[in-house]
Structure 1
Amino acid sequence: MQVALVWLLAFTNVLLIRGESNDATICKDHFMLDPRPHSVSILEFGAVGDGKYLNTLAFQNAIFYLKSFADKGGAQLYVPPGKWLTGSFNLTSHLTLFLEKGATILASPDQSHWDTVSSLPSYGRGKRYRSLINGDNLLDVVITGDNGTFDGQGAVWWEWFESGTLNYSRPHIIELVSSKNILISNLTFLNAPSVNIHPVYCSHVHIRKVLIETTVDSPYVLGVVPDSSDNVCIEDSTINVGHDTISLKSGWDQYGINYNRPTTNVHLRNLSLKSPTGAGISFGSEMSGGISDVTVELLTIQSSHVGVAFRTTRGRGGYIRNITISDVILSRVDTAIVADGHTGSHADDKYDRDALPVVTRVLMRNFTGEGIGLAGKFTGIGESPFTSICLSDIHLQTSSESWVCSNVSGFSDDVSPEPCQELMSSPSSCFAGGGIYGVDTAARGYYSW
């Protein structure tokens, strides 16, 4: 059985082969699905899958052993059915971590089993708990399975967070730092302490066919957070979490400005999203390194506080630009679209109040919605208004027909309820090829994508 798993299910040489620079091609790029030539089971390292025995050392020893195969085509660590309790451990390059159907990796709820690490340089404040699954400067990593499960057992962390008794930031389930060629697929994620999947400073990341869920009362638990990363695809997945389901970020205030690594070339598609206290898709508010060239399409967002959110504030610097969001179905959403220039705390009191963020060239089209509270709320910054906000073919059934607008400009075409005058004020910024981005080629012609 294990040999079959190696040949049929393991992936190696995970290479995203880029075509054009247009981010809409990222999910169409393909992986080279060669088999791993070596495989071991976690059972070979003394692991016990009873949900009680702590297997941290077994996972660490297994990964250490598999490092020796990095220059021999890589290897797979096979996790069979069972409940495998563990603290945090690090992955290695040219590795497949495979969770069989019925296998659950359980995060230990014992705070003493979690090391602390320094904050990320683009965030620059304090320490934080190491994540459950970690990787730093890795190449060619696959985390997959036959719908195996990661359970963060986050309830105890949520209690500590809400009571203010945590000394450090909560851990994530998966965090990969400065790594390249990453595939995460065919898995379920439950009850993360904080973030489920956090690629930061990464390139060529493909996340597909994952189910991410937490309970409604999970405080500020996020689904996937691409952070100062490029060439990212997230597709064919369902995410139901307490806060934002997918949140694009790129650093915090002066630390993100100085680190200067944007999140760019991102494609999100075919997603079912639910966020009772957050947003289906969000940009920021930590976006000081910049966020650009993002294509979002084919979304269903239901029972959420906000559908699509753009968040920033004075002192962030950076930019959010060249964003296209299309084919979105909204149901039972408090506010369909929010763009807020006054959201988010600061890393410390050393931020530059004159570092003004720029939000521009955002196209949203083909939205439908029922059970919507407010159609949209756009509040830019006086010294740095949001510009070229372009709406097309958007039809929302709202309980309030008002749009709230200040310090914003753009244009709308075929939008109901009728938007505010500020979003009808600047047609030249939204027209290309004779229409309001009627076809992709026109949009690319304007944005030079």
Structure 2
Amino acid sequence: MHRSAFSHSIICFIFCIICSSSADVDTCSGLVPMKNRYDKISITDFGGVGDGRTLNTKAFREAIFRIQHLKRIGGTLLYIPPGEYLTESFNLTSHMTLYLARGAVIKATQDTANWPLISPLPSYGRGRELPGGRYISFIHGDNLNDVIITGENGTIDGQGNVWWNMWRQRTLQFTRPSLVEFMNSKHILISNVIFKNSPFWNIHPVYCSNVVIQYVTILAPRDSPNTDGVDPDSSSHVCIEDSYISTGDDMVAVKSGWDEYGIAYGRASSEITIRRVSGSSPFAGIAIGSETSGGVQNILAEHINLYDMGIGVHLKTNIGRGGYIKNINISNVYIDKARTGIKIAGDVGDHPDENFNPNALPVVKNVNIRVVWGDNVLQPGLIRGLSGSPFTGICLSNINLNSGTKPRKTAPWLCSDVKGAAVGVSPWPCAELASSHQTGQCSTPFA
């Protein structure tokens, strides 16, 4: 791990401990409470060997088969003791806890030739990278209830380098696997685990509800392609908090389907909270999109610390997406070094095929971004709406985005097809945002 990333990770870890011990700090623990499973088994009971060489696929699958079919009251905890457990992909089951002890590593095999394929997500219509199916995630769950992945900061290692090289060399046949994916599931808790070197997206809850991700560390090299940290996708009541993320793509990206497929599937992402998250990325810290065809609404992001970023906050959509992005509240963001501070754009992202509807214009409205401080931010902001669907109700307040500590000319804001207001923004944004003399909030009514 890069020294600066390690330092920020330690700072975040200490910060999270302090936060968790304070009764005054908001948390989402009540959304999916931690459960004590009285039935406990170990992967070693099923022949698991943590030598980093032995293939443990059979042990994982037999252990989970036992949990699924014996159905102990209150569920079962599967204990992974210290060691490196090499395995192929495996599926979780309902009413179980996957518990990684300190020093435990679940490591993905790099045998890509035998990696299982599954159908594309219906809201995407094809694999995200290539037509057709997609490789199943390393740890997978579908139609599950009451699942916990936790422990003593053990590690789930996707060994993604072989997949990244296939992407770079354009030899992929299907879309790469995520590290952890839950589909059509509810009451999922992920905490106190390190996720590293995912082949593709790290944690992907899709068509899920009641999901809590807290006290996790997510790591991937800065040049690793599409290694998003957490991607809530067509999911509701999701909380991501007290975590450190340093990857090669967006740290957190809220999604809801891709063009005509996402419009037809019609499942929004909503009621999502992101708080006390820190990290670094060549792309965005907090992102919404670009796949938003099912709609994204009621998002709260607060107390976010970002450094060495491409973009601090990025809302992104495109012609053909349809859907909407609305009721977004982002506050208390600190950015140390970024190419762009705030970007809201309607010309971002590609299309699954040529069948998208060019008349399916997204709606972006009621976006409130306040209390943002940035240093060494080259371009403070850009808001680029669509001529046929201007972005409305954009409120910026108490924002200071400077190009550096030394006096020099700061690049101007760039805006088009946007309506809203600004108060206490430095450098002053574009004329399309009406000035407000109120303190701390915008006075322009949202359209």
Amino acid at match of 1:248: V
Evaluate the alpha carbon distance shift between residue 357 and residue 258 of structure 1 in structure 2; reply closer, same or farther with a 3 A threshold.
same
Contact 2:39-2:72 within 8 A present in 1 as well: no
Contact 2:325-2:363 within 8 A present in 1 as well: yes
Q: Tell me the secondary structure at the aligned position of residue 372 of structure 2.
A: strand
Contact 1:26-1:231 within 8 A present in 2 as well: no
Q: Matched residues in 2 for 1:373 and 1:435: separation?
A: 26
Q: Matched residues in 1 for 2:227 and 2:361: separation?
A: 28
Which residue of 354, 359, 365 maps to 1:360? 365
Q: Which residue of 1 aligns with 2:223?
A: 217
Offset, 1:69: 4.0
Q: Which residue of 2 aligns with 1:108?
A: 109
Deviations 1:152-209 (A, max 9, x none): 1111100000111001000011000000000000000111111110000000000000
Q: Is residue 188 of structure 1 aligned with residue 194 of structure 2?
A: yes
Amino acid at match of 1:239: I
Q: Matched residues in 2 for 1:299 and 1:273: separation?
A: 9
Contact 1:70-1:93 within 8 A present in 2 as well: no
Evaluate the alpha carbon distance shift between residue 101 and residue 25 of structure 1 in structure 2; reply closer, same or farther with a 3 A threshold.
closer
Q: Matched residues in 2 for 1:285 and 1:335: separation?
A: 17
Structure 2 spans left out of the alignment, 5+ residues: 1-24, 127-131, 404-408
Q: Which residue of 2 aligns with 1:145?
A: 151
Q: Within 5 Å, give how 1:326-345 maps onto structure 2.
A: 326-345=331-350
Deviations 1:64-111 (A, max 9, x none): 001134352110110000101111110000000000000001011111
Q: Tell me the secondary structure at the aligned position of residue 255 of structure 1.
A: helix
Deviations 1:42-77 (A, max 9, x none): 011111111111111111111000113435211011
Q: Which residue of 2 aligns with 1:413?
A: 423
Q: Matched residues in 2 for 1:377 and 1:70: separation?
A: 54
Contact 2:32-2:211 within 8 A present in 1 as well: no
Contact 1:95-1:140 within 8 A present in 2 as well: yes
Q: Which residue of 1 aligns with 2:268?
A: 262
Deviations 1:242-280 (A, max 9, x none): 11010000000011001110000001000112112x100
TM-score, normalization by structure 2: 0.89
Q: Matched residues in 2 for 1:436 and 1:395: separation?
A: 13
Which residue of 421, 424, 433 maps to 2:434? 424
Amino acid at match of 1:407: D
Q: Matched residues in 1 for 2:377 and 2:439: separation?
A: 28
Structure 1 spans left out of the alignment, 5+ residues: 1-23
Q: Tell me the secondary structure at the aligned position of residue 71 of structure 2.
A: helix
Contact 2:158-2:199 within 8 A present in 1 as well: yes
Contact 2:32-2:187 within 8 A present in 1 as well: no
Q: Which residue of 1 aligns with 2:183?
A: 177
* Pairwise CA RMSD: 1.9
Q: Matched residues in 2 for 1:227 and 1:300: separation?
A: 23
Q: Is residue 271 of structure 1 aligned with residue 277 of structure 2?
A: yes
Offset, 1:25: 7.6
Offset, 1:314: 0.4
Amino acid at match of 1:295: L
Q: Which residue of 1 aligns with 2:84?
A: 83
Q: Matched residues in 2 for 1:244 and 1:31: separation?
A: 25
Q: Is residue 227 of structure 1 aligned with residue 237 of structure 2?
A: no
Contact 1:69-1:75 within 8 A present in 2 as well: no
Evaluate the alpha carbon distance shift between residue 307 and residue 255 of structure 1 in structure 2; reply closer, same or farther with a 3 A threshold.
same
Q: Matched residues in 2 for 1:28 and 1:97: separation?
A: 18
Q: Which residue of 2 aligns with 1:282?
A: 287
- Which stretch shows the higher mean deviation, 392-401 or 176-185? 392-401
Q: Tell me the secondary structure at the aligned position of residue 289 of structure 1.
A: coil
Give the paired residue count: 412
Q: Matched residues in 2 for 1:237 and 1:32: separation?
A: 18
Contact 2:383-2:415 within 8 A present in 1 as well: yes
Q: Tell me the secondary structure at the aligned position of residue 35 of structure 1.
A: coil
TM-score, normalization by structure 1: 0.89
Q: Which residue of 2 aligns with 1:40?
A: 41
Q: Matched residues in 1 for 2:367 and 2:275: separation?
A: 17
Q: Tell me the secondary structure at the aligned position of residue 160 of structure 1.
A: helix
- Which stretch shows the higher mean deviation, 101-110 or 60-69? 60-69
Offset, 1:30: 4.8
Q: Which residue of 2 aligns with 1:403?
A: 413
Stretches of 4+ moved more than 3 A in 1? 28-34, 434-438
Evaluate the alpha carbon distance shift between residue 380 and residue 273 of structure 1 in structure 2; reply closer, same or farther with a 3 A threshold.
same
Identity of aligned residues (%): 48
